[in-house]
Amino acid sequence: MRKSARIGISIGATIAALALIAGMAAVGATTGGGEAEASPSRPTVATAFPGYSPASGEPGLAILNDLQPPAGTVARAEGPFDDRFEWLDLQLTPDAVSGSVNITSDVSELLELEVHAGFYDSSGELIGTGTWVLSAEAHEAGHSGPHEDHQEFEVPVPEDIRGRATAAAVGIPILVNE
Amino acid sequence: MQRSKRVVVASTLSVALAAGAFATVGSQAAVAAEKDDGKVTNVIYLVGDGMGRTHVTAGRERFFGAAGKLTMETLPSQGSVSTYAVQRNSGQPGADDFVPNLVTDSASAATAWASGVKTYNAALGIDAKGAIVPTVMELAKAAGYRTGNVTTSEITDATPAGQMSHALARGCQGPVYAAESCQDLEITGTALPTSDVRVIPIADQIARNGTADVILGGGLSRFDADDEAALEAQGYTVLGSAETQTVATEADLAGAQGEKVFGLFNTGNLTVEKSKQDNPDSVQAQEPTLADMTAKAISVLAEGDGEGFYLQIEGALIDKRSHANDAAQTLEEIKAFDDAVAVAKEFAEQDGDTLVIVTADHECAGFNIIEQGSFTNAEAATPPANVDSGNPANSSTLSRPDRSVLDPERSTGILNAEGATNANNFAPATFRTPDDPESVVDGSPDAGLWLSYLSGNHTGADVPIYSYGAGSEKMQGSIDNTDLFGIVTEALGLPGDAPAPNPDKSVYDVILDAIGPRKAQVLAAVREITGWSLSDVRALAGGGSRLILDDADEQTAKAAADLLEEAGATVSVR
């Protein structure tokens, strides 16, 4: 037996599968009448993880804080995927750090790529950061095909530190191939 | 209900890892079980990623000759599987808002067989509107089955992840969250809180949800020290170390003990077999084969306590090397996958209560066997002629009076011979078969097997399916990939069917997908909506998707959803 519930009125809705999601193949499927049963000790779909701290913001490359690249240079910051690509043509101008990335580990479609950059003053202090993002969602529609394995990037120097950034460092915390 | 089961004493199983074969089962203290009609104790589900019909034929001819068979081809039930996906926010087939996408990716294909729903490319464990759907592996685990997930790709990649995670986007793999790679505003409207499982990095989910008891593959880079600690806290034997980024070894695999094993043998995808063969002294050559991992997984799962086991095995590199149009590597990956099939088949034959299913998620790259000495369109200056000078009625538009001719700039010799140095060469690669004279070598024009690719992308072709064991007759003929969910759940006696499309748009179900941070407010809202008792409402705090309203009219469903969302919950209305 199924009942519909009305907002604000305490009608006991029939939730036959409420606590027995473990017995349900389909979220949303109902199996008929009956009172709610006690939750099984193991829900079928784990949507919460005790002790887990969800992300509080966008990813950073913590190591950028530890680098002190010499003026005029672009250092390479360690990341989890350093064995999957190579940097090419890295250069720093007053306006941006740029270069290109060659994905060497895989040739299936490049789905996600983020280049994180740190900018440093003449004393080697980290004074600003920026990010360049290539995402699968940014695919152009049409017949252009998947992302290239060779990607050129440019991370602008933040406005508030223009003229003070004398060195940069780049790293990749996000890289996914199809 | 406790099902009786056949117990195979796995202690007598020996795994010859070096040979990559499932060795002797030995004498078994088998307890004959009362077998339900069509039901089995175990299911081994093997996926050749990207493996189309021609991949199988080419593998057969390469390794066993024209009249030979791969192991998978010896399985008695054979058929084909349609693989199409749907667009974002599409309904299911039959619904008014059904919008198909004829070429799937691995993510939506995995969701189709794992959860029985069509979804959009990149989605894992959710339908096309973003609602979480349980997977076969989760259902099996909850019902008391042992579970395993084995792959030659990163373990966070779509095919393995489709059984043990839920994500808006397959690119949300870890080790860190990023909005660009984890959120999908076209589905959710606004960004989900980072506590919502659908945007939690897949590696973090795998390390904490305990869905798979045995986890073997690659992708150690996606995991970190916290993940390793989470796995160990759940009782996993962790091979290698995520904290130190030390990959596991073949020796680690052979010596692994315990009921739950986590082992990743490469920081990325496992090394292709041909590379291991060509570089036998390399570190990578010590990685276990798919057959090795399959044998170990079966051994661990069969020994443990449970109703039986559900094991998914993926030969992932067939797809990845097909994307690369590397026929030599593709062939070796097909063989390696078939060797894993042989391991599964041997176990099933000895066990007598196991369903083995071998299929693919999609075809990759339009693999083709072409006539010896011929050339493909990709090598030609123009397409084939389309004029019948004797009978113009046979011609259609576009009229092309000239036969195609070879373009010397696009065809510079057999690809794995004189044409190997030209990156713009579209010529086929040739391979000897056992039917060729001994003197014929790969790359020779005399080699019998000429292989070419259509593109570097997936295709929409149906894929083959082979199966053995009780219930395998359901996979003869043509089926859809979503049908596999029902076939497997029925085989294992798991409750429930795949979500059916709701043709009656006048009633809606409201599902609480996640409570979010303001638990008290959400639980109060649920009480207000439903009138449930305090104890019933408190049970929601245990997590997991919960049905709040069923068959509500549209206004009631919307009001309930609004109330819950205002309280901070994540809600689906279907």
Interval A24-39: pLDDT, tens:
333 333 333 333 333 3
Shortest CA distance from B510: residue in chain A: A28
Q: Which residues contact A115 (CB under 8 A, 6 or more apart)?
A: A101, A131, A132, A153, A155, A170, A171, A172
Shortest CA distance from B318: residue in chain A: A108
Tell me which residues of B are annotated as active site.
Answer: 106
Q: Which of B208, B494, B511 sits opposite A52 (nearest CB)?
A: B208
Judged by average pLDDT, the poorest of A134-148, B328-342, B549-563 is A134-148
Q: Which of A2, A26, A42 sits opposite B497 (nearest CB)?
A: A26
| pTM for the model | 0.81
CB contact under 8 A, A46 and B546: no
H-run or E-run covering B354: strand B354-359
CB contact under 8 A, A173 and B178: yes
Q: B8 to chain A nearest CA, in Å?
A: 27
Mean pLDDT of B162-177: 97
B227 touches B203 (CB < 8 A): yes
Residue B211 to residue B213: CA distance in whole angstroms: 7
B340 touches B46 (CB < 8 A): yes
ipTM (interface predicted TM):
0.77
Q: Which of B105, B221, B457 sits opposite A80 (nearest CB)?
A: B221
Residue B137 to residue B143: CA distance in whole angstroms: 10
Mean pLDDT of B266-287: 96
Encoded amino acid at A81, one letter: F
CB contact under 8 A, A2 and B551: yes
Q: B305 to chain A nearest CA, in Å?
A: 17
Encoded amino acid at A153, one letter: F
pLDDT at A140 over 70: no
Q: Which of B143, B177, B530 sits opposite A5 (nearest CB)?
A: B530
Average pLDDT, chain B: 89
A residues 132-151 closer than 8 Å to B (CB): 133, 135-137, 145-146
> Structure tokens of B165?
């995670």
DSSP state of B552: E
* Partners of residue B314 on adjacent β-strands: B47, B151
Structure-token match 């639980």, residue found: B523
Q: A28 to chain B nearest CA, in Å?
A: 6
Name the nearest CA neighbour of A165 among A100, A121, A126, A112: A121
Whether A22 has its CB under 8 Å from any CB of chain B: the answer is yes
> Distance from CA of residue B216 to its chain's centroid?
14
Q: A105 to chain B nearest CA, in Å?
A: 8
CB contact under 8 A, A49 and B559: no
CB contact under 8 A, B134 and A12: no
Q: A60 to chain B nearest CA, in Å?
A: 9
Band the pLDDT of A42: cuts 50, 70, 90. low
Residues of B in contact with A1 (CB under 8 A): none
Encoded amino acid at A26, one letter: A
Residues of B in contact with A47 (CB under 8 A): 132, 166, 196-197, 513-514, 543-545
H-run or E-run covering A167: strand A167-177
Q: Which residues of A17-26 are buried (b: 16+ CB within 10 A; e: fewer)?
A: bbbbbbbbbb
Residues of B in contact with A26 (CB under 8 A): 116, 133-134, 496-500
CB contact under 8 A, A107 and B132: no
Residues of A in contact with B139 (CB under 8 A): 22, 25, 44
pLDDT at A78: 94
Taking residue B57's Cβ as centre, other Cβ atoms within 10 Å add up to 19
Residues of A in contact with B209 (CB under 8 A): 46, 49
pLDDT at B357 over 80: yes
pLDDT at A137 over 60: no
Q: A84 to chain B nearest CA, in Å?
A: 8
Residue B425 to residue B423: CA distance in whole angstroms: 6
Structure-token match 């990759």, residue found: B364
Judged by average pLDDT, the poorest of B58-62, B259-263, B491-495 is B491-495
B187 touches B77 (CB < 8 A): no
pLDDT at B496: 56
pLDDT at B2 over 50: no
CB contact under 8 A, A54 and B177: yes
Judged by average pLDDT, the poorest of B195-199, B444-448, B521-525 is B521-525
Residue B556 to residue B307: CA distance in whole angstroms: 41
Interval B98-112: pLDDT, tens:
999 999 999 999 999
Q: Which of B210, B528, B543 sits opposite A47 (nearest CB)?
A: B543
Residues of A in contact with B106 (CB under 8 A): 178
pLDDT at A28: 36
Mean pLDDT of B319-343: 97
**Greater pLDDT, B508 or B455:** B455
Q: Which of B181, B184, B457 sits opposite A112 (nearest CB)?
A: B181
CB contact under 8 A, B549 and A4: yes
